[in-house]
């Protein structure tokens, strides 16, 4: 029997607010342990939680970016359970009345077909403390760091529309792009500012029932999400084919062994309305104001880049995931740099250099106007591509203009045909075998000879001109 997977995701995202959700402690989880704490987030009895407006706004911005419907009223409940990372015995979460419902992301599946994956709802909740397990001598001890306690989270709960590991990864990428573009979180699975749990079940292909699902946690990279889901689909398929029943439980992904392992049975917990926070209200005026803060969203940006600049879908999609890179590209193009040159130099030359020196495009030491000056030297044939690359490297540490650097370093391209012809003569004499090859129609000999002439000119000759002169010589 052929099965299909039914997958839903529950994604927790840490909002990058300045303070925690219910107190004024700094939202910095990586400070020295227990330094960003107060009676409220240490969960002392009697401390009164005060809801952060910034957290509500950021959650609402994410919801608007994902096309969700913001709820005029939402509220918090106490989710009652005890664990050492939740010392007060309950977590404040919007269980019954979330801040936003509906919404979707569009992804492309393995076959290149667009798919609309729906979101069920988005709610706000507080994060729990962090447990650190250590050895003290031969004794295993567990420490609690409350810096994370009370940090604002949004949980995005999807509909079970996802069918494959690929779609799950694409959905996470799309969500991440939107959350980043509205400036609500860095959304890193690796560092834990984004955490994704997957609910997975299988059913005979073509049927529509929802079977018993298994929850998989602990996936710390996009790759892990894909691998864990693929493993779990295969495990459940083998179990069902072997006549085994699937029971509802939670499993952990082991990234080293590449397996999911049973962790615990699922348990239901009671929810009690939180009495002190009150109703969270989003007035039409506040929603209208938030809409004015929405940037151009990645999907719309990609569409526009294709239409306006004739970029390919892949190129447009790449730029749309990094708003600063897209702006950089558009500034270059607006400065008169050809689209292909602008994209190529930004993506394959500047961005690797930035990454190497741990800069983001947004804080590039080489501003678009300076890169444009350099690219004009290149397109006017005043320097060749090699010289442009070397000049770019110098520009990282210098405020001099590209033209000045080119002069000082002697990078100006050699376009004197008499000189180039004499270099060609020397090279041809020294490379009789390649000349014979070229005469016999072996095309790659041309590339070799151009390279030799370039070398003879210390890399300064204009390669286009060399090719032109050589071709003239041999086509005669």
Binding site for Zn ion (CB under 5 A): 23, 25, 38, 40-41
Beta strands (DSSP E) in 53-180 are 69-70, 73-74, 77-80, 90-93, 100-101, 104-108, 114-126, 130-136, 139-145, 152-158
Q: Is residue 190 classed exposed, middle or buried when 0-12, 13-18 and 19+ CB atoms within 10 A define those classes? A: exposed
User: Is 204 in a helix, a strand, or coil?
Assistant: strand
> By C-beta, is 28 or 467 nearer to Zn ion?
28
> By C-beta, is 38 or 144 nearer to Zn ion?
38
Name the helix (H) or strand (E) containing 285. Answer: helix 284-293
Measure the CA angle with vertex 61, ends 64 and 319; round to 5°: 85
**Shortest CB 95 distance to Zn ion, Å:** 23
Q: Do residues 280 and 75 touch, judged by C-beta distance below 8 A?
A: yes
User: Is 399 in a helix, a strand, or coil?
Assistant: coil
**Shortest CB 42 distance to Zn ion, Å:** 7
**Shortest CB 142 distance to Zn ion, Å:** 22
> By C-beta, is 38 or 54 nearer to Zn ion?
38
**Shortest CB 307 distance to Zn ion, Å:** 48
> By C-beta, is 24 or 241 nearer to Zn ion?
24
User: Is 248 in a helix, a strand, or coil?
Assistant: coil
Structure-token match 């779990």, residue found: 232
> By C-beta, is 19 or 462 nearer to Zn ion?
19
**Shortest CB 18 distance to Zn ion, Å:** 13
> By C-beta, is 146 or 411 nearer to Zn ion?
146
> By C-beta, is 23 or 66 nearer to Zn ion?
23
**Shortest CB 15 distance to Zn ion, Å:** 15
> By C-beta, is 49 or 160 nearer to Zn ion?
49
C-alpha to C-alpha distance for 302 and 50, rounded to whole angstroms: 40
**Shortest CB 25 distance to Zn ion, Å:** 3
**Shortest CB 379 distance to Zn ion, Å:** 57
> By C-beta, is 25 or 282 nearer to Zn ion?
25
Token output for 449: 């000879």
List the one residue out of 228, 234, 229, 220 whose CA is nearest residue 253: 228
* Distance from the Cα of residue 83 to its chain's centroid: 32
C-alpha to C-alpha distance for 381 and 386, rounded to whole angstroms: 12
Tally of CA atoms within 13 A in the half-sphere of 375 that contains its CB: 25
Token output for 472: 């003239």
Strands 214-219 and 249-254: parallel
List the one residue out of 158, 161, 191, 192 whose CA is nearest residue 175: 158
Q: Is residue 398 classed exposed, middle or buried when 0-12, 13-18 and 19+ CB atoms within 10 A define those classes? A: middle
> By C-beta, is 27 or 94 nearer to Zn ion?
27
Q: Do residues 131 and 168 touch, judged by C-beta distance below 8 A?
A: no
In this structure, what DSSP letter does residue 267 have? -
Helices vs strands, H then E, count in the chain: 16, 17
> By C-beta, is 52 or 193 nearer to Zn ion?
52
C-alpha to C-alpha distance for 70 and 99, rounded to whole angstroms: 6
**Shortest CB 85 distance to Zn ion, Å:** 16
Residues 6+ apart with CB under 8 A from 232: 198, 200, 214, 216, 251, 260
Token output for 202: 């299988």
C-alpha to C-alpha distance for 463 and 450, rounded to whole angstroms: 7
C-alpha to C-alpha distance for 246 and 183, rounded to whole angstroms: 41
**Shortest CB 39 distance to Zn ion, Å:** 7
> By C-beta, is 41 or 387 nearer to Zn ion?
41
**Shortest CB 24 distance to Zn ion, Å:** 7
**Shortest CB 23 distance to Zn ion, Å:** 3
């Amino acid at each position: 029997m052929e099965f299909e997977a039914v997958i839903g995701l529950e994604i927790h995202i840490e909002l990058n607010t300045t303070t925690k959700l219910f107190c004024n402690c700094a939202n910095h989880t990586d400070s020295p342990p227990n330094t960003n704490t107060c009676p409220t987030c240490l969960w002392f009895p009697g401390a009164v939680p005060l809801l952060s407006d910034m957290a509500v706004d950021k959650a609402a911005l994410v919801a608007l970016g994902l096309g969700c419907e913001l709820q005029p009223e939402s509220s918090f409940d106490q989710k009652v359970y005890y664990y050492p990372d939740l010392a007060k015995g309950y977590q404040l979460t919007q269980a019954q009345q979330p801040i936003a419902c509906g919404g979707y992301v569009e992804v492309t599946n393995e076959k290149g077909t667009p798919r609309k994956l729906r979101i069920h709802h988005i709610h706000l909740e507080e994060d729990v403390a962090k447990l650190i397990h250590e050895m003290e001598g031969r004794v295993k001890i567990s420490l609690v760091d409350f810096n994370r306690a009370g940090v604002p989270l949004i949980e995005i709960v999807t509909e079970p529309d996802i069918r494959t590991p690929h779609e799950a990864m694409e959905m996470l990428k799309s969500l991440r792009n939107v959350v980043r573009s509205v400036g609500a979180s860095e959304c890193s699975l690796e560092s834990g500012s984004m955490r994704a749990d997957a609910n997975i079940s299988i059913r005979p292909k073509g049927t529509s029932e929802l079977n018993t699902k298994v929850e998989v946690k602990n996936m710390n990279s996009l790759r892990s999400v894909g691998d864990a889901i693929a493993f779990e689909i295969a495990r459940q398929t083998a179990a069902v084919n072997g006549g085994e029943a699937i029971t509802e439980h939670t499993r952990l992904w082991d990234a080293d062994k590449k397996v999911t392992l049973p962790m615990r049975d699922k348990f239901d917990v009671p929810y009690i309305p939180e009495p002190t926070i009150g109703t969270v209200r989003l007035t039409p005026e506040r929603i209208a104001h938030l809409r004015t803060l929405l940037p151009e969203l990645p999907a719309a940006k990609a569409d526009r880049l294709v239409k306006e600049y004739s970029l390919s879908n892949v190129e447009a999609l790449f730029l749309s995931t990094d708003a600063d890179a897209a702006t950089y590209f558009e500034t270059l193009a607006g400065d008169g740099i050809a689209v292909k040159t602008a994209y190529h130099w930004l993506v394959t030359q500047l961005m690797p250099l930035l990454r190497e020196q741990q800069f983001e495009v947004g804080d590039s030491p080489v501003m678009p106007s300076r890169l444009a000056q350099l690219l004009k030297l290149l397109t006017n044939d005043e320097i060749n591509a090699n010289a442009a690359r070397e000049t770019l490297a110098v520009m990282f540490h210098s405020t001099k203009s590209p033209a000045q650097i080119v002069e000082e370093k002697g990078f100006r391209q050699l376009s004197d045909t008499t000189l180039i012809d004499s270099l060609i003569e020397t090279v041809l004499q020294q490379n009789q075998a390649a000349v014979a090859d070229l005469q016999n129609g072996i095309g790659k000999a041309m590339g070799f000879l151009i390279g030799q002439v370039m070398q003879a000119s210390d890399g300064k000759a204009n390669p286009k001109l060399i090719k032109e002169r050589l071709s003239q010589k041999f086509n005669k």
